[in-house]
Chains A and B, each alone.
Chain A
Amino acid sequence: MSDVDLVVETVRDILSAHEPFVLTADRPWDAGLWAALAEAGLTGVGLPEEAGGSGGELADAVAIVATLAQGAAAVPVAEQLLVAAPAVLAADLDLPAPDEPLSIAVDGAVTAEPRDDGDGPGSWTLTGTATDVAWAGVAQHLVVLATSPVGPVLALVDVTGRETTHAANLAGEPRGSLVFDGVTCAGALLTDRQATELRARYALARAVQLSAALEQVLAWTVQYAGERVQFGRPLGRFQAIQMELAEMAGEVTAVAALVDAAVQATERGESLVAAAAAAKVRAGAAVEVVARLAHQVHGAIGFTQEHRLHHLTRRCWSWRDEAGTELAWSRVLGERLLADGPDGLWPALTRVV
Chain B
Amino acid sequence: MGSNSLTLAPAPRSAAAEQVREEVRAFLAEELAAGSFTTSVDTWLSGVDPAFSRKLGERGWLGMTWPEEYGGHERTAMERYAVTEELLAAGAPVAAHWIADRQSGPNLLRYGTEAQRTEILPRIAAGECFFVIGMSEPDSGSDLASIRTRATRNGDGDWVVNGAKVWTSNAHTSHYAITLVRTSPADPANRHAGLSQLLVDLSLPGITVNPIRILDGGHHFNEVVFDDVVVPGDMLLGEEGNGWHQVTAELAFERSGPERFLSTYPLVAEFARRVAADPDPAGLAALGRLSARLLALRQMSLRIAAALDRGELPDIPAALVKDVGTTFEADVIDEVRRAVDVVASLDSPDPLGRALAEAQLHAPGYTLRGGTNEILRGIVARGLGLR
Contacts and interface: CB of A to CB of B under 8 A. Distances in A.
Given A246-B377, A254-B297, A256-B2, A330 B276 contact: no
A58 B374 CA distance: 40
Interface stretch (B166-174, B185-193, B281-289, B353-361): B281-289
Contacts of A346: 89-90, 265, 269
A243 B319 CA distance: 13
Interface residues of B, number: 56
A258 B295 contact: yes
B269 A237 contact: no
Contacts of B1: 63, 66, 211-212, 215, 256, 260
A222 B296 contact: no
Interface string B361-383: 00000000000001011101101
A343 interface: yes
A330 B284 contact: yes
A338 B272 contact: yes
A333 B293 CA distance: 12
B45 interface: no
A332 B285 CA distance: 8
B33 interface: no
A68 B25 CA distance: 44
A245 B324 contact: no
B285 A331 contact: yes
A264 interface: yes
Interface residues of A, number: 57
Contact of B378 (A242, A279, A331, A352): A242
Contacts of A247: 323, 377
A242 B387 CA distance: 9
A329 B284 CA distance: 10
A277 interface: yes
Given A239-B378, A250-B323, A338-B276, A278 B384 contact: no
B89 A237 contact: no
B291 A236 contact: no
A281 B294 CA distance: 12
Nearest to B380: A246
A27 B268 CA distance: 48
B299 interface: yes
A258 B296 contact: yes
B2 A249 contact: no
Interface string A67-88: 0000000000000000000000
A349 interface: yes
Interface in A285-344: 285, 326-327, 329-335, 337-338, 341-343
Contacts of B385: 222, 226
Contacts of A352: 295
Contacts of A225: 386
A58 to B, nearest CB: 14
Contacts of B298: 349-350
B157 interface: no
A55 B25 CA distance: 43
A132 B269 CA distance: 37
A228 to B, nearest CB: 13
Interface centre among A329, A337, A343 (most CB of B within 10 A): A337
A331 B281 CA distance: 7
Contact of A253 (B276, B283, B295, B324): B324
Contacts of A63: 1
Given A212-B1, A343-B273, A334 B283 contact: yes
A229 interface: no
A255 interface: yes
Interface in A215-240: 215, 219, 222, 225-226, 236-237, 239
B268 A237 contact: no
A285 B292 CA distance: 9
A221 to B, nearest CB: 10
Contacts of A332: 288
B296 A226 contact: no
Contact of A243 (B4, B85, B291, B377): B377
Contacts of B85: 350
Given A242-B377, A246-B377, A346-B89, A253 B291 contact: no
Contacts of A255: 296
B218 interface: no
Interface centre among A246, A277, A333 (most CB of B within 10 A): A246
Contacts of B381: 236, 242-243, 245-246
Nearest to A343: B273
A44 B28 CA distance: 50
B291 A278 contact: yes
A261 interface: yes
Given A242-B378, A330-B284, A342-B277, A226 B386 contact: yes
Contacts of A241: 386
Contacts of A243: 374, 377, 381
Contact of A258 (B299, B320, B323): B299
A207 B2 CA distance: 15
B249 interface: no
A251 B300 CA distance: 11
Contacts of B120: none
B138 interface: no
B269 to A, nearest CB: 6
A89 interface: no
Contacts of B25: 347
B292 A341 contact: no
Interface in B43-93: 85, 89-90
Interface of B: 1-4, 6-7, 10, 21, 25, 85, 89-90, 265, 268-269, 272-273, 275-277, 279, 281, 283-289, 291-300, 303, 317, 320, 323-324, 327, 374, 376-378, 380-381, 383-387
Given A237-B386, A246-B380, 5 more contacts: A277-B292, A285-B292, A330-B286, A330-B289, A352-B295
6 contacts: A219-B3, A236-B387, A245-B381, A246-B378, A247-B323, A334-B286
Nearest 9 CB-CB pairings of A with B: A330-B288, A334-B284, A246-B377, A333-B288, A242-B381, A257-B299, A342-B276, A246-B380, A334-B288
